[in-house]
Structure 1
Amino acid sequence: MKSTATKYGTVAVTLHWLSALFIFALMGSGFRAGSLVESTAKASVLSAHVPLGIIILLLTLARVAWWLFADRKPNHPAGDPGWQIMSAKIVHVLFYIVIFGMVASGIGMMVLSGAGTILFAGSAEPLPDFWDYLPRVPHGIGARVMILLLVLHIGAALYHHFIRKDGLIWRIWFGQKNQQERPK
């Protein structure tokens, strides 16, 4: 269940991939909702988007608690330059900051606009224009920063897998493979 010096444990791997799945669903539903004009269609998408945001918050809190109280991350790969190690740390910290910021701004929009009541209490009112509420700006910026972070994170994983061929990607997958195994 816990991580070793070279591989993430089952709990960390599960939290990572569940978070990835829900973040992609959240991003898709968020951009879809942002592109819709018709209130009923937008409300339908947001009624899935908001619970997905809560799920991401809970998964992120679980990850933070796991790393603070229960487990240690594997060592950085041997031979990685210092700038890559620092970049990876920065990207991971920024993921947490952006996730918490997105949750806060999403909750702010729901509360200030009254959309939570419309979405979840069966109100027949049309949704408000979210651009009328200040939390919409950081929410939109956060979504775009999240895309950038995902591109950097996935790009680094693909670089390690296909260019360096160091098996690093197997550290965050289920099973026994570890980074020292090189593909043949």
Structure 2
Amino acid sequence: MQVRNSSSQFGIVSIVVHWLVAFTVFGLFGLGYYMAGLSYYDEWYRLAPDIHRSLGILLFLVVLFRVVWRLANPAPEPLPTHTRWEVMSAHIAHMLLYILLFVAMVSGYLISTADGSSISVFNWFEVPSVTGQVKGMEDIAGDIHYWSTWAIVILAGLHALAAIKHHILDKDNTLRRMLGAKG
């Protein structure tokens, strides 16, 4: 399998990064949803947020890489069987997913650093606060984070359903291309 995308096929880098981001986003969403129900006395009360923040920072770096890779390495051409509205809606959905991912990650960062503290990423390195202490920022950022993550999960679910529709109903290579299979 080729490293870079071709005009008809995704390369291994695009495929691996796509699935890494997808699984990480859903994992972080599940962890965040679980964390919201923890009590102060639960043993995961302190550990889960540290894991969530660390994975969120690493995801930010991966998504930045993905954007740079995508700019330097365009996606394959749409399949000839795709209608104009399918191509346009896929393009819009991808752009919205990128925007929402950055909104969710930046708002998550702002929640955690609103008190001026840095974020420790698995004790490997620290990401400092760029805002210092800002009273009430964690509440505003929290609302933005909450709604943007729900929007990501819903839009990603629709994205997955569209891929399944192409695979099962249209019987085209849309999903196979992102799985690295030849059509």
Normalising by structure 1, we get a TM-score of: 0.82
Query: How much does 1:17 deviate?
Result: 1.1
State the one-letter code of the partner of 1:171: R
Does the CA contact (< 8 Å) of 1:43 and 1:119 recur in 2?
no
Instruction: Give the alignment partner of residue 161 of structure 1, picking from 156, 162, 167.
Output: 167
Structure 2 Cα separation of the partners of residues 84 and 42 of structure 1:
43
State the one-letter code of the partner of 1:10: I
Structure 1 Cα separation of the partners of residues 122 and 12 of structure 2:
35
Could you tell me which residue of structure 2 aligns to residue 126 of structure 1? none
Instruction: Give the alignment partner of residue 62 of structure 1, picking from 50, 59, 65.
Output: 65
Higher-helix-fraction structure: 1
Does the CA contact (< 8 Å) of 1:15 and 1:63 recur in 2?
yes
The answer to whether the aligner puts 1:112 opposite 2:100 as a matched pair is no
Residues 70-121 of structure 1: CA distance to partner in whole angstroms, max 9, x if unpaired?
A: x121001112111111111111111111111111111111111467579989
The answer to whether the aligner puts 1:148 opposite 2:154 as a matched pair is yes
Structure 1 Cα separation of the partners of residues 98 and 168 of structure 2:
27
Q: Which runs of 5+ in 2 are unaligned?
A: 124-135
Query: How much does 1:149 deviate?
Result: 0.9
Could you tell me which residue of structure 1 aligns to residue 140 of structure 2? 134
Structure 1 Cα separation of the partners of residues 140 and 114 of structure 2:
9
Structure 2 Cα separation of the partners of residues 59 and 119 of structure 1:
14
Could you tell me which residue of structure 2 aligns to residue 82 of structure 1? 84
Q: Flag the 1:117–1:51 CA change in 2: closer, same or farther, 3 A.
A: closer
Structure 2 Cα separation of the partners of residues 57 and 46 of structure 1:
16
State the one-letter code of the partner of 2:110: G
Structure 1 Cα separation of the partners of residues 30 and 16 of structure 2:
21
The answer to whether the aligner puts 1:8 opposite 2:10 as a matched pair is yes
Could you tell me which residue of structure 2 aligns to residue 125 of structure 1? none
Seq. identity, %? 28
Structure 2 Cα separation of the partners of residues 120 and 5 of structure 1:
39
Structure 1 Cα separation of the partners of residues 138 and 69 of structure 2:
38
Does the CA contact (< 8 Å) of 1:95 and 1:149 recur in 2?
yes
Structure 1 Cα separation of the partners of residues 122 and 9 of structure 2:
42
Query: How much does 1:38 deviate?
Result: 2.1
Normalising by structure 2, we get a TM-score of: 0.83
Instruction: Give the alignment partner of residue 102 of structure 1, picking from 101, 104, 110.
Output: 104
Query: How much does 1:147 deviate?
Result: 1.4
Query: How much does 1:166 deviate?
Result: 0.8
Could you tell me which residue of structure 2 aligns to residue 47 of structure 1? 50
- Number of aligned residue pairs: 168
Q: Flag the 1:117–1:97 CA change in 2: closer, same or farther, 3 A.
A: closer
Could you tell me which residue of structure 1 aligns to residue 129 of structure 2? none
Does the CA contact (< 8 Å) of 2:93 and 2:159 recur in 1?
yes
Does the CA contact (< 8 Å) of 1:46 and 1:119 recur in 2?
no
Structure 1 Cα separation of the partners of residues 79 and 161 of structure 2:
16
Greater Cα shift, 132-141 or 96-105: 132-141
Q: Which runs of 5+ in 1 are unaligned?
A: 122-129
